[in-house]
Chain A
Amino acid sequence: MGSVKVDQLTKEFAGVKALNNVNLDIQEGEFFALLGPSGCGKTTTMRCIAGFEQPTTGTILIGDKAVNKIPPNRRNCGMVFQSYALFPHMNVFENVAYSLNIKQLNSSNVISQAGIYLRLLNRKFGKYPKDIEKKVMEILEYVELDRYATRLTSELSGGQQQRVALARALVMEPAVLLMDEPLSNLDQKLRHSMRNTIRRIQQDLGITTIFVTHDQEEAMSMADRVAVMDHGEVMQIGTPTDLYSRPATPFIANFVGTSNMLKGTVVDEVDGLSIIKGDGFQLRSSQTSTKKEVDVIIRPENIKVYKADRVPSDASNLLEGDIVVSTYLGSIVRYDVQIGNYQLVVDTTYSSGESILAAGEKIKMSIEPERVLLI
């Protein structure tokens, strides 16, 4: 087990910067997600850690040891590939046993090496030692695949293949577990249950895990901390709640959850509250900003909606608008509300029996100053 430190990592492909000064400090036992749109450099970062790409500059440390010069086959990073990359000519057992065979290969003399090679080429050519067999079956049991040990991987379902890939990476007891979009090939339902499985195993084993994904929901629901990347740079690192409630940039605000974004100017500060004026609105925020021109971020669920005649007296940041679209989504109702030149998205929880406001209705809205984010 080990921590992972990525220090000023830069990677160029043919003069084009794929990674620009990436810094990560991942704690031992942490579940760390690299989140970003495709082409943002998250996979390149992971491949640098695994050793499949050589950094142009920068160092990578696994458990305090610089690994830049260590070849990928000696880094002890278990990796789960997006396509799983299972060996198609081997059955489940042999796939999982592969790394153990290699380990034995490296620690034996020429004659037993030949035996291991033969065993690797065809299962008929040799018996597996008891300890390897025991270890493989244990891990297969752990991922609930022990019944499938002799199946070819092509005979398994997507979720099962995924678990073989996971078992194969785990059996080598890696210092770090790397997962490259492991859930992207699964259907919606399976993805949810695999999320839980992966998270449970990670917690059980306490293994440092780096998880690459473009799905913010996946990253937010599984990871201890998330690094959001864009254009080869790390935009923000934080816990899921951090990222959601304090996005560092408009990009993150948009990428992590839905948000309303307004352009405004800080005109005054009264009682520790900033007063922001914009096109057709004035808002107070408990945040202060060093800049004058700010992006105002408001999450849809932080806007309260009232019929025009039922506004409570203590409501703050009162706004008025017209409903353009009203969408019933089961547990919530989503309104698109026109205020001046802006169209805001507003989510209200819905409990049965309530009436839903219709398009065209005039409404009032309030937002607590703590929920008005300034970037």
Chain B
Amino acid sequence: MNKLKDAFNGLTLVKALIYLFFIIFMLLPLFSVFLVSFTGQPINLLGSLTDPKILSSTIEKFQGASIESYTSMLQNSSYGSALKNSLGLALLVALIVILVCIPIAYGIARTTMPFKKTISALCTIPLIVPTFISAYAFIIMFGRAGWVTHIWQSLGFEGMLINPYSMTGIVLVQVFFFFPYALWPMVAAFKVSDVTLEEASQNLGAKNWFTFVFVTFPLAIPGVISSALLIFTVSFSDFGTPIILAPSNLNLLVVEAYREIAGFFNWGGAAILTVVMVLVAAFFFWLQHLFTKGKNYGSVSGKPKVQKLNDNKVLTRVITVYSGFLVLIPLLAMLSITLQSFATTWGKDPLPNGYTLDHYKTIFTSSMGNIQNSIILALGALALSVVIATFVSYFVVRQNSTKLDFLTSIPLVVPGIAFGIALIQTFNTAPLHLTGTALLLILAYTIRRLPYMVRSTMGTMRSIKQDVEEAAINLGATPLTAAITIIGPLMLPGIAAGSVLVFITVIKETSISILLAPAEWAPMSLAIFQNILRGEYYTAAAMSIVLVVLVLILQAIANRMSARNPN
């Protein structure tokens, strides 16, 4: 009896601790940044609880609170134009990505296009590369000294084909590197309409194109819209591309927020921008959720759908060539970085002047610390998220704790830069002075990437039937023993798959690293960023390659694991 009580209390305690964790490190920062957006000055909520002096000053600040900053934002200040530009950028990227993806999605889902597998595989490349590296690659290609510019000018044209330091540049990078996010949901959407519907349409006298326009495509529309909203949120929250490419006369929310905090320590301004970013992202995330809710494509019935594949030779070849072009750009971008990393110097020529391994030597001698930091920080975040995610999925699946489920999906909505600002603001004074420590960095990574882990562990948790656990208890095991000996081992595949995903995304993480990492804990992404700012392009390129290779290796491990465990 006592043993059961202990186990029960143990689980309840764990649940309380998890709630506490989310309240202190996620809800409190977001809430306090929300308050700061009204007071205009930093406030210390935790301190107010422990120290009466801080409390009284907090109250004073509240008395000075106003919505003035919000109203002035509406009156076309620089914040207003930043919001407009950010919305415009996200909208444009979402629209273009959808238009660009329709032919490929159709090709993969519904035709016998040649090289389908190769193109599908190449479409994952853009997802591996952190966006600030992609942006930097665009500079190598299209910049003033870029090899594309060189070819362009030797063809007799003036200036640059595309100026990477512009809205156009940002849009292009985001389109070429974000389209895979939309591609796979859209492929699924094009598979919704099955052959019986299309044959019915033909049977009623419709031609092929008519069937596509009026049957296949309308059925795919919810999926397409949902993809568009996803791209919108991803583009809106992206920090890597704008921070590298945005010209000084182009205001964007993420860049503006970063400058306010890193340049001017303008807490009030940064807070307003953070609140706006979170609200916009949350709104579009909610819209997307609305569209996908109740639409479980493809997996509803056990009866396999029969799909008729279009094998029109002209059409499929055109689609293949087109898709090839689309994946070629990211491929060339990565190739350019690879070349740069081996180049002695690379001026305004199609190829480098000479080749050397010096840059890698530099990295592995002087920047080994950054690689170590990245790995240590990622491992820390990994350990923390494994523990939290395992328990969270247990509580959500077995005890139907929907609140916890909701809490763990909040990080999906909050843009990285916004979350970073919220954390800095909240933890830069006593009693919990964590800003500038590796611990806060790990906490931030953990919370930000926890949804991936939870999704993975929750999947396996759901696949473990309740009666297996009951059987263990029936055979005499306490709930805790059952958890250790039965649930734990059965969840391992899910934990492993989630771990790799968390590890990869933490290593790629840009905004949090740039904002929060102290100098002695600078991870690779921050080092690359600083190298680019300092103009040390060759070492930045070499470091980028090391990062991408690391991610590639982990991705390969993850793929092998998920191939073995189809969860």
Contact of B470 among A81, A102, A120 (CB under 8 A): A81
Residue of A nearest to B471 (CB): A85
Interface string of B546-560 (1 = CB under 8 A from A): 000000000000000
Residue of A nearest to B476 (CB): A102
Query: Could you tell me how many residues of chain B have their Cβ less than 8 Å away from some Cβ of chain A?
Result: 22
| A68-76, A247-255, A287-295 - interface stretch | A68-76
Q: Does B535 contact A (CB under 8 A)?
A: no
Residue of A nearest to B477 (CB): A102
Q: Does B59 contact A (CB under 8 A)?
A: no
Q: Does B49 contact A (CB under 8 A)?
A: no
Q: Does A127 contact B (CB under 8 A)?
A: no
Contact of A172 among B1, B470, B475, B488 (CB under 8 A): B475
Which residues from B are CB-within-8-Å of A71? 1, 4
Residue of A nearest to B1 (CB): A71
Give min CB distance, B399 to chain A, whole Å. 15
* Alpha-carbon distance between A76 and B367 when the two chains are bound, in angstroms: 62
Contact of B485 among A78, A85, A120 (CB under 8 A): A120
Which residues from B are CB-within-8-Å of A50? 474
Residue of B nearest to A81 (CB): B467
A87 in contact with B486 given A72-B473, A73-B474 (CB within 8 Å): yes
Q: Does B263 contact A (CB under 8 A)?
A: no
Q: Does B279 contact A (CB under 8 A)?
A: no
A78 in contact with B474 given A71-B4, A73-B4 (CB within 8 Å): yes
Q: Does A65 contact B (CB under 8 A)?
A: no
A70 in contact with B475 given A81-B467, A83-B465 (CB within 8 Å): no
Give min CB distance, A168 to chain B, whole Å. 7
Interface pair B1/A79, CB less than 8 Å apart: no
Residue of B nearest to A101 (CB): B485
* Alpha-carbon distance between A106 and B477 when the two chains are bound, in angstroms: 9
* Alpha-carbon distance between A88 and B475 when the two chains are bound, in angstroms: 16
8 A Cβ contacts from A29-88 to B = 50, 52, 69-74, 76-79, 81-83, 85-88
A87 in contact with B471 given A71-B1, A71-B4 (CB within 8 Å): yes
* Alpha-carbon distance between A105 and B480 when the two chains are bound, in angstroms: 13
8 A Cβ contacts from B445-493 to A = 465, 467-468, 470-479, 481, 484-486, 488-490
Interface pair B485/A79, CB less than 8 Å apart: no
8 A Cβ contacts from B397-425 to A = none
Contact of A73 among B465, B468, B473, B486 (CB under 8 A): B473
Task: Identify which of A79, A85, A106 gathers the most chain B CB atoms within 10 Å of its CB.
Answer: A85
Give min CB distance, A129 to chain B, whole Å. 17
Which residues from B are CB-within-8-Å of A87? 468, 471-472, 486
8 A Cβ contacts from A81-106 to B = 81-83, 85-89, 98-99, 102-103, 105-106
A172 in contact with B476 given A71-B1, A74-B1 (CB within 8 Å): yes
Which residues from A are CB-within-8-Å of B468? 85-88
Residue of B nearest to A83 (CB): B467
Task: Identify which of B468, B475, B476, B477 gathers the most chain A CB atoms within 10 Å of its CB.
Answer: B475
Interface pair A102/B475, CB less than 8 Å apart: yes
Interface pair B474/A72, CB less than 8 Å apart: yes
Interface pair B490/A89, CB less than 8 Å apart: yes
Which residues from B are CB-within-8-Å of A76? 476
Which residues from A are CB-within-8-Å of B488? 121
Interface string of A99-123 (1 = CB under 8 A from B): 1001101100000000001001100
Give min CB distance, A313 to chain B, whole Å. 63
* Alpha-carbon distance between A278 and B429 when the two chains are bound, in angstroms: 92
Give min CB distance, B147 to chain A, whole Å. 55
Give min CB distance, B462 to chain A, whole Å. 15
* Alpha-carbon distance between A99 and B481 when the two chains are bound, in angstroms: 12
Interface string of A191-202 (1 = CB under 8 A from B): 000000000000
* Alpha-carbon distance between A81 and B472 when the two chains are bound, in angstroms: 11
Which residues from B are CB-within-8-Å of A70? 1
Interface pair A117/B475, CB less than 8 Å apart: no
* Alpha-carbon distance between A82 and B466 when the two chains are bound, in angstroms: 12
Which residues from A are CB-within-8-Å of B470? 52, 72, 79, 81, 85
Interface pair B486/A102, CB less than 8 Å apart: no
A88 in contact with B490 given A83-B465, A102-B481, A105-B481 (CB within 8 Å): yes
Contact of B465 among A79, A85, A120 (CB under 8 A): A85
Task: Identify which of B4, B478, B481, B490 gathers the most chain A CB atoms within 10 Å of its CB.
Answer: B481
Interface pair B489/A89, CB less than 8 Å apart: yes
Interface pair A73/B478, CB less than 8 Å apart: yes
Which residues from A are CB-within-8-Å of B490? 88-89
Which residues from B are CB-within-8-Å of A106? 476
Give min CB distance, A132 to chain B, whole Å. 13
* Alpha-carbon distance between A77 and B468 when the two chains are bound, in angstroms: 16
* Alpha-carbon distance between A216 and B465 when the two chains are bound, in angstroms: 28
* Alpha-carbon distance between A81 and B465 when the two chains are bound, in angstroms: 12
Which residues from B are CB-within-8-Å of A168? 471, 475
Interface pair A77/B489, CB less than 8 Å apart: no
A85 in contact with B476 given A71-B1, A74-B1, A121-B485 (CB within 8 Å): no
Which residues from A are CB-within-8-Å of B472? 87, 98
* Alpha-carbon distance between A87 and B485 when the two chains are bound, in angstroms: 10
* Alpha-carbon distance between A77 and B471 when the two chains are bound, in angstroms: 11
* Alpha-carbon distance between A285 and B280 when the two chains are bound, in angstroms: 82
| A-B contacts besides A87-B468, A88-B468, 9 pairs, CB < 8 Å | A74-B1, A81-B470, A81-B471, A85-B467, A85-B471, A87-B471, A102-B477, A120-B484, A120-B485
Name 25 interchain pairs, CB-CB below 8 A, sorted by A: A50-B474, A52-B474, A72-B474, A73-B476, A73-B477, A76-B476, A78-B474, A79-B471, A81-B470, A81-B471, A83-B465, A85-B468, A87-B468, A87-B471, A98-B472, A98-B475, A98-B485, A99-B476, A102-B477, A105-B481, A117-B484, A117-B485, A121-B489, A169-B474, A169-B475
The 6 closest A-B pairs by CB, nearest first: A85-B471, A99-B475, A85-B467, A102-B476, A71-B4, A120-B485
